[in-house]
Structure 1
């Protein structure tokens, strides 16, 4: 599994379709094009493809607007990356972005790294990926 690294990759995936949604998250997917051979000779100066490797790509988009504290944003991103690696069946070979689309209530989850918040995030992410895989199966 590869991670999305640059802005162009994130923008390309976000322009794709929304595969699944929960109360706090959305999963975007973009199918990868067929791999193109690397140019040789004078054509070697052409720009490189966004997704050089045909694999499953994953990115996490956790805006400051919805998670004010950096520790909360990092905890959510860790949950996204960890859970996406543990999926069975794994995500299809495509580029995916998990986007936080609304904030968690700070009155309910006082601590940024509380076990309750981690459990709530993990439960929603499991729902998100389950809905996406159910949709892909149909």
Structure 2
């Protein structure tokens, strides 16, 4: 399962860690955890369990989105991917969207990714002299090839530090 990171708190948790792999244009961050529970879901559950003032208390129904709390030692399941493509590195929205689509496709092609939170960050712009079109096939191919190498690099186990 590949989910989508959307909450700022999850991005902060992952980006606060050192990058797991880097390439010329991208940085890949990973945290073996699940997304933080949403405050909206907690508020919704609280109001669902409250007594109604119009009569007998109604049985509270759990929402579909709410998952039971996990044990701290339980293994993490599923991948959640967050994408950071800042305007300062990709001025045109067409280019930003192209890069986001390529990042999602690169993760979809790799079903064996370790579970947890993943954030791919564009850390430097692609050369506009080399790729003058905002959504060229050349840019698409270059981004896809670089992302494939980046994910392959991230999948390799880190060498143990001697010391």
Q: TM-score range by the shorter chain?
A: 0.7 to 0.9
Comparing 9-18 with 21-30, greater Cα deviation is found at 9-18
Greater Cα radius of gyration, structure 1 or 2 = 2
Among candidates 87, 90, 95, match of residue 64 of structure 1: 87
Superimposed CA distance per residue, residues 76-113 of structure 1 (whole angstroms, 9 cap, x where no aligned partner): 0000011101115x211110000000000111101011
Contact 1:13 1:95 in 2 (8 A): yes
1:134 and 2:135 correspond: no
Superimposed CA distance per residue, residues 51-78 of structure 1 (whole angstroms, 9 cap, x where no aligned partner): x984211111101010000110010000
Unaligned runs of 5+ in 2: 38-44, 47-65, 71-75
Unaligned runs of 5+ in 1: 37-43
Computed over aligned residues only, the root mean square deviation of the Cα atoms, in angstroms, reads 2.6
Residue 17 of structure 1 is matched in structure 2 by: 18
**How far apart are 1:137 and its partner, in Å?**
9.0
Residue 101 of structure 2 is matched in structure 1 by: 78
Give the structure-2-normalised TM-score: 0.69
* Count of aligned positions: 125
Q: Distance in 2 between matches of 1:135 and 1:24?
A: 22
Runs of 4+ in 1 over 6 A off after TM superposition: none
User: Quick check: which one's strand share is greater?
Assistant: 1
